[in-house]
Structure 1
Amino acid sequence: MSRATIVQQLATFAVSAREQGVGDSLRANTAQRVLDVLGNSIAALDTRPARAVRTLVEEWGGTPGATALGLPGRWPAASAALLNGTLAHALDFDDTHLPSVLHPSATVVPAALAVAESRNADGPALLDAIAVGVEIAVRVGMAGYDQELGSSVFFERGLHATAICGTLGGAAAVAMLSGADADGIAHAISIAASMGSGLLEANRTGGTVKRVHCGWAAHAAVTAAGLARTGLTGPPTVFEGRFGLLQAFCGEQSNPDAILDGLGEHWELPKVFFKPYPCNHFTHAGIDAALRLRAEGITADVVERLELGAPTAVLRTIGEPHADKIRPKSGYHAAFSGPYTVAAALLGGGGLGLFHQDFTDAAAANTDRLALAARVTCVADAHCDAIFPHQFPAVLTARLHDGRIRTARVDVNRGGPGNPLSEDELATKFRLNTEHTLTGLHADRISTVVFDLAKQRDLDALMSLLRT
């Protein structure tokens, strides 16, 4: 084959990043993502999916190698990645890339962290591998983005692109940390393409399996890279082939060029949005709009009804079925409800606006919140459609009992490049995420070590803090 295939070019990119480093700015950005994943994971330790996976990991046992959050000692890297990846995504608090709508760090960070620890990698190597893994994941996600449709083809087909693409990025990161050459990295990625999967039906009708998707993707990433290291091979045309990943998942609607366009020169990594609120990202602009109205003195008792305008494509997630969204079945389902999140924000929530206490089963059953949520109607908004999916905008219109109308429009999401969270805010988010598990001093020590990973000669200090 005279011309290098897509996966071969990705592997060359990974080797170059490992040899030359990705640079101080990208390493600093990546360190922020490590801290974000760890905080989200620690906050999720007592969730039902985490308990289920923890029980399974203990049943499996195996050769000690990596830290599994919430368990003593060390565990096989693949098992640690399974548990930590499950934790990272369990509360839907993980970062999001637009417009691919991927949550790349929740898979790539747990996979890379487990293998980096088991192989005694240093901080710079870990950060470079994660940066490359996230970059590959979101670029594959962009290959499944349909410009005319204005949406992810993966998503339109009910597929969880995060789990599918995250497996590939995770495998690349793990292979880098394992010392694989370009051929080995290419095989790890192409093997991983047979392993990533995930369906989104649980978002609509219930079930907790989605919370394990990133864990399984991280587990598969470690496994794929391990199989490549021990001699298994994958197809060189895994992306562009007749029976390759893009054709299989996206059909004729894929854009393979998006994977390689500007690779190594233009990075998607800094465009990945951090979440200030632990709920579906489509709800965030509505939350911010409600917070603005609240700051203007609008309270629930003066509101006759609320209209939440959003992009047409997101209404199926945050507005349908209407009966389920105005009365979510649980705290988890409340995190995917436009009416509930708007009501909770207007009534006043915790943390940076809304926080974990706003998404418990008890909070989702709160009569005041449900009464206000019942007055919320979700509608398509043309202005939001024009911006989506490069942002997830919203407009909230409050019609008051006295006949007045108040409107708040949010076009730029908080936590992204146009409205970023500062390093201090990310440290605050970590402290809030861990306040029921760690002392404030312990949390601050972890933040300090993570922000300093680019100078760490090993991961012992971080892992010691996490195990205690």
Structure 2
Amino acid sequence: MSAATIVQRLGGFAAVARDRGVGKELRGDAARRVLDVLGNSIAAQRTPAAATVRAMIAEWGGTPRATALGLAGRYPEGSAALLGGTLAHALDFDDTHLPSVLHPSASVVPTALAVAEAVGASGAALLDAVAVGVEITVRLGMAGYDETLGNSMFFERGLHATAICGTLGAAAAAAMLYRLDADGIAHALGIAASMGSGLLEANRTGGTVKRVHCGWAAHAAVTAASLARHGMTGPPTVIEGRFGLLQAFCGERAELSAITAGLGEAWELPGIFFKPYPCNHFTHAGIDAALRLRARGVTADDVIRLELGAPTPVLRTIGEPLAAKRRPESGYHAAFSGPYTVAAALLGGGGLGVFHEDFTDAAARDPRRLALAATVDCVPDAHCDKIFPRQFPAILTAELRDGRSLIERVDVNRGGPGNPLSPEELATKFRLNTADILTTADDVSETVYRLADLDDLDALLTLLRTPPH
């Protein structure tokens, strides 16, 4: 008998996890991912991207099977997942895995929620599917990480690994909830590999299409699992084959062993970072450094010049082209700007340091922020290069009018295993995300943390359908 291919091993892993459960601790972590995604999604309901996708799926119509946030009634699970994934990633507040540099929960959780509702799955089944889907997503992302280069080959080629790998991980979650066997889950993965896509150019020069990347991944995932359920098959060597996913997206530099090493025993899931700030994760260490300067008494009026040192690959996202990053064209693009985020933090942002109010279009036009951002130079830093991408470090140097030069270096990102957000901070993030939108925030939190004991999702979905106030 020939050895199992990678996708067959992933299908077997998912089937076993579904049948046996992933255990209390991993279900607890999956519940935190669900709560984080729901908070981010509720906060994003007022974004133009949300309105666009809601209008489109309302036009599509279809069999009512799943809840679509912000819309009355129900929709096909593929449509609900499309909206959910768009909302989950729209504010760039979703979790991050390092060093794969992708955001796994934004595609997986909305897919799992939509399919679980459609089939009447239990809370425990939902959490098992989320745990497995996220794990597969980040392991595929890790296969694209090049140790010598110190960066993801997906990222080097301008490809959005979050959407590409997330399509497969979410398809596995959907297939588990559809009760496909190991072969069926493998076929869902094989089909999904032809559907994942996403380009990162919008991070550099504008456009809002990136906001729908995770939504489309979720929609494609439901489609792939549904096609497998109805008999379509995928190639068994879709991951490692000559014309497979990794060769197509990463070339010869992919590391196949990262996908299956310790599969089912050593889980990546618990080490995935929660974001404290609703902006590109590459900007976070610079924000932390600016907050530290603020705590030392530095004000915007004290500053002559700021220098933001960061890993070389990061600068393509948060520092180039410099003129555009110093004057972002909108609040959305401000979330991908090193100069702007440093300025916002130093001037005094909201929430846990900076928050949604710092990334409105009006905030991005604020003369004080723009004047301070204009003093920020973005430069590569050799020490940061050594740490990246296992952390997203930064060093911020402030030249002050009194002649002093102050330095703050941040090597360990807030929100990860080395500097975690406390349960209270995660609860604060959820409350702030849902303030003035959801009247049942505390009840939602409590229900999400009880999901493992619930026979279905009705209690949670009833709370989420409560009209905003």
TM tier relative to shorter chain: over 0.9
Structure 1 residue 56 displacement after superposition = 0.5
Structure 1 residue 438 displacement after superposition = 1.4
TM alignment of 1:337-348, pairs within 5 A: 337-348=337-348
Post-superposition Cα deviations, 1:181-200, rounded to whole Å, max 9, x if no partner, equal 00000000000000010111
Structure 1 residue 44 displacement after superposition = 0.6
Counterpart code for 2:290: A
* Residue equivalent to 2:389: 389
* Residue equivalent to 1:144: 144
Structure 2 Cα separation of the partners of residues 205 and 426 of structure 1: 32
Structure 1 residue 271 displacement after superposition = 1.4
The secondary structure found in structure 1 opposite 2:73 is coil
Structure 1 residue 253 displacement after superposition = 1.1
Indicate yes or no: 2:40 matched with 1:62.
no
TM alignment of 1:409-420, pairs within 5 A: 409-420=409-420
Structure 1 residue 436 displacement after superposition = 2.2
Structure 1 Cα separation of the partners of residues 276 and 171 of structure 2: 28
* Residue equivalent to 2:422: 422
Counterpart code for 2:63: T
TM alignment of 1:133-282, pairs within 5 A: 133-282=133-282
Query: Aligned Cα RMSD in Å?
Result: 0.7
Counterpart code for 1:113: L
Structure 1 residue 16 displacement after superposition = 1.1
The secondary structure found in structure 1 opposite 2:46 is coil
Structure 2 Cα separation of the partners of residues 277 and 304 of structure 1: 26
TM alignment of 1:317-332, pairs within 5 A: 317-332=317-332
Structure 2 Cα separation of the partners of residues 11 and 453 of structure 1: 24
* Residue equivalent to 1:464: 462
Structure 2 Cα separation of the partners of residues 328 and 206 of structure 1: 9
Q: Which runs of 5+ in 2 are unaligned?
A: none
Counterpart code for 2:153: V
* Residue equivalent to 1:452: 450
TM-score when normalising by structure 2: 0.99
The secondary structure found in structure 2 opposite 1:45 is helix
Structure 1 Cα separation of the partners of residues 39 and 222 of structure 2: 22
Post-superposition Cα deviations, 1:262-305, rounded to whole Å, max 9, x if no partner, equal 11111111111110000000000000000011011011111111
Structure 1 residue 426 displacement after superposition = 1.2
Counterpart code for 1:355: F
Indicate yes or no: 2:48 matched with 1:38.
no
Structure 2 Cα separation of the partners of residues 392 and 345 of structure 1: 17
TM alignment of 1:289-328, pairs within 5 A: 289-328=289-328
The secondary structure found in structure 1 opposite 2:106 is helix
Identity of aligned residues (%): 77
TM-score when normalising by structure 1: 0.99
Counterpart code for 1:33: R
Contact 1:73 1:467 in 2 (8 A): no
Structure 2 Cα separation of the partners of residues 383 and 240 of structure 1: 34
Structure 1 residue 46 displacement after superposition = 1.3
Structure 1 Cα separation of the partners of residues 239 and 397 of structure 2: 45
* Residue equivalent to 1:108: 108
Contact 1:32 1:423 in 2 (8 A): no
Counterpart code for 1:463: L
Structure 1 Cα separation of the partners of residues 45 and 294 of structure 2: 32
* Residue equivalent to 1:287: 287
Q: Which runs of 5+ in 1 are unaligned?
A: none
Counterpart code for 1:451: Y
Counterpart code for 2:139: R
Post-superposition Cα deviations, 1:246-274, rounded to whole Å, max 9, x if no partner, equal 11111101111110011111111111111
Structure 1 Cα separation of the partners of residues 159 and 108 of structure 2: 19
Structure 2 Cα separation of the partners of residues 418 and 412 of structure 1: 7
Structure 1 Cα separation of the partners of residues 337 and 344 of structure 2: 11
* Residue equivalent to 2:82: 82
Post-superposition Cα deviations, 1:326-378, rounded to whole Å, max 9, x if no partner, equal 11111011000000000000000000000000000100110001111111111
Contact 1:311 1:388 in 2 (8 A): yes
Indicate yes or no: 2:18 matched with 1:18.
yes
Structure 2 Cα separation of the partners of residues 246 and 160 of structure 1: 13
Post-superposition Cα deviations, 1:133-181, rounded to whole Å, max 9, x if no partner, equal 0000000001111111111111111111111000000000000011000
Counterpart code for 1:202: A
Structure 1 Cα separation of the partners of residues 252 and 283 of structure 2: 31
The secondary structure found in structure 2 opposite 1:44 is helix
Structure 2 Cα separation of the partners of residues 360 and 370 of structure 1: 14
Structure 2 Cα separation of the partners of residues 102 and 21 of structure 1: 25
The secondary structure found in structure 2 opposite 1:406 is strand
The secondary structure found in structure 2 opposite 1:448 is helix
Counterpart code for 2:207: G
Counterpart code for 2:131: A
The secondary structure found in structure 2 opposite 1:198 is coil
Structure 1 residue 454 displacement after superposition = 1.3
